[in-house]
C-alpha cells in the first residue's frame, strides 16, 4: 500500500500543527525541510498562533501559514494533517481538519483517535539513546515516508523589514528563564557584560519577555517584550548570544549566531542548540555552580569577535 506520503497525490495539501512554544517552533523547521526535500510537489502549511508566525515567515519550505481555527484549517483542505503539538486543542483541530490522514505521535493523549499513530523517534530511527527535539520532530516525517537521512539544522529567515540596521557590534544576553533552577545568577551575567564591553568591545544588550524584570541590568541597553520579528532581527545581527536555556537561544542558533547556553534543570541532550556554533555549559549540582570564567572561556573557544 505504500507510505502515507506515497499515497498522497501530486500537489496534495499538508497541514502541520505547531501551536507553540518559541523553541519548539524553531526546532520544527528541520522537519519541514525533510518533508520538502522528499516531496517538493506538496503544498505545506503550518498551523500556528499569531505570536509565533514570524518563526515561519519567509521559509521556502512552506506555502502558507494558517491560524489555529477550525474554519481556517478546514479552508486549507489538507489531505494530511500532522499534529506535532500534542495537546487537546491540537487534537480537536486535527480531528476536525477533514484530512484523509490524521497523524500524531502514539504517546500523545487520546492517540487512538488518530488514524496514523507515529511511534517513538527511537523506534523510527532504530536507536536507544535520548533524541534531540529536532530529531524527534523530523522522525515523524521519516515515518510518514520521507527518505531517511541527516536531520538538517534549524533555519529562520528575515523579511526586508526585519533586516538588522547598521550599528556598532553587540552581544545579546538573556538572563531570565522559566524557573529559578534554570536561571544563572544576575551578578554573573553582569560580570560577563563588563568583559564583553571592555575586552571584546561589544555592547551588551539584555533581552526579556513582556512583564519580566531587567532592572538589575539597567546600566546597559535593555529590550523587554519586543515583538518576535524585532527579536529575530536583534539576534540575527548579534556577534554573540549568552543566555539560559530558552527560546531566544534557539532563535540565535538558527541564525548561526555564536551562542553560549547555560543549562540548569533542563536536558541539553534534548534542548541544546542544534547543529550550530555553540557551547553548552551544564550545571553540576545546580546552575549556580557555573563560573563566570567558564562562560568567558566558552566565548574564547567560539572565537567571538567584534
Domain that holds residue 256: 164-301
132-136, 140-144, 179-183, range with the lowest pLDDT: 179-183
What is the CATH number for 268? 3.40.50.2000
H-run or E-run covering 118: strand 116-118
Q: How much is the pLDDT for 195?
A: 97
**Cell 499515497 found at:** 7
Looking at the structure, tell me whether residues 118 and 197 fall in a common domain.
no
Do 227 and 261 share a domain, yes or no?
yes
138 and 19 part of one domain: yes
> pLDDT tens across 78-105, in order?
999 999 999 999 999 999 999 999 999 9
Confidence of residue 306 (pLDDT cuts 50, 70, 90): low
- Grid cell in block for residue 181: 533552577
The answer to whether residues 154 and 274 touch, using CB atoms and an 8 Å cutoff, is yes
- Chain centroid, CA 16 distance in Å: 15
Tally of domains in the chain: 2
User: Are 134 and 170 found together in one domain?
Assistant: no
**Which residue bears the cell 490524521?**
102
Distance of CA 70 to the CA centre of its chain: 25
Collapsing DSSP to helix, strand or coil, 35 comes out as helix
Residues 171 and 274 in one domain: yes
Q: For residue 106, what is its C-alpha cell?
A: 502514539
Same domain for 182 and 123? no
Average confidence (pLDDT) over 17-21: 91
User: What is the three-class DSSP state of 91?
Assistant: helix
Mean of the pLDDT values across residues 206-212? 95
Residue 161's pLDDT band (boundaries 50, 70, 90)?
confident
β-pairing, 278-282 vs 221-224, is: unpaired
pTM of the model: 0.95
User: Cβ contacts of residue 233 below 8 Å, gap of 6+?
Assistant: 158, 162, 163, 164, 165
- Same domain, yes or no, for 115 and 64? yes
CA distance 12 to 9: 6
Query: Positive or negative CA dihedral for 160, 162, 168, 171?
Result: negative
Measured distance between the N- and C-terminal CA atoms of the chain, rounded to whole angstroms: 57
Average pLDDT, the chain: 94
Is 212 found in the same domain as 136?
Answer: no
Whether 43 and 12 have beta carbons less than 8 Å apart is answered as: yes
Report helix, strand or coil for 104.
strand
pLDDT tens figures, 217-250: 999 999 999 999 999 999 999 999 999 999 999 9
Amino acid at each position: 500500500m505504500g507510505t502515507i506520503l506515497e499515497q498522497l497525490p501530486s500537489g496534495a495539501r499538508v497541514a502541520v500543527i505547531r501551536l507553540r512554544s518559541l523553541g519548539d517552533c524553531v526546532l520544527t523547521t528541520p522537519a519541514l525541510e525533510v518533508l520538502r526535500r522528499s516531496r517538493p510537489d506538496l503544498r505545506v502549511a503550518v498551523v500556528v498562533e499569531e505570536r509565533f508566525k514570524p518563526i515561519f515567515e519567509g521559509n521556502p519550505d512552506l506555502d502558507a501559514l494558517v491560524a489555529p481555527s477550525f474554519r481556517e484549517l478546514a479552508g486549507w483542505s489538507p489531505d494530511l494533517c500532522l499534529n506535532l503539538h500534542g495537546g487537546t486543542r491540537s487534537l480537536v483541530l486535527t480531528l476536525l481538519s477533514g484530512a484523509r490522514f490524521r497523524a500524531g505521535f502514539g504517546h500523545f493523549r487520546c492517540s487512538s483517535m488518530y488514524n496514523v499513530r507515529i511511534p517513538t523517534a527511537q523506534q523510527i530511527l532504530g536507536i536507544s539513546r535520548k533524541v534531540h527535539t529536532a530529531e524527534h520532530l523530523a522522525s515523524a516525517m521519516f515515518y510518514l515516508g520521507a527518505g531517511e537521512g541527516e536531520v538538517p539544522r534549524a533555519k529562520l529567515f528575515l523579511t526586508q523589514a526585519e533586516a538588522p540596521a547598521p550599528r556598532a557590534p553587540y552581544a545579546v544576553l538573556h538572563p531570565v528563564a522559566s524557573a529559578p533552577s534554570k536561571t544563572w545568577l544576575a551578578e554573573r551575567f553582569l560580570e560577563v557584560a563588563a568583559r564583553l564591553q571592555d575586552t571584546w568591545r561589544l555592547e551588551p544588550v539584555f533581552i526579556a519577555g513582556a512583564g519580566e524584570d531587567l532592572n538589575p541590568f539597567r546600566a546597559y541597553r535593555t529590550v523587554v517584550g519586543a515583538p518576535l520579528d524585532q527579536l529575530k532581527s536583534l539576534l540575527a545581527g548579534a556577534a554573540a548570544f549568552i543566555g539560559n536555556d530558552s527560546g531566544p537561544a534557539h532563535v540565535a542558533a538558527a541564525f548561526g549566531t555564536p551562542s553560549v547556553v547555560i543549562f540548569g534543570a533542563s536536558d541539553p541532550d534534548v534542548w541544546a542548540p542544534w547543529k550550530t556554533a555553540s557551547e553548552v555549559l551544564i550545571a553540576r549540582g545546580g546552575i549556580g555552580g557555573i563560573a563566570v570564567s567558564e562562560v568567558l572561556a566558552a566565548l574564547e573557544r567560539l572565537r567571538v569577535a567584534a
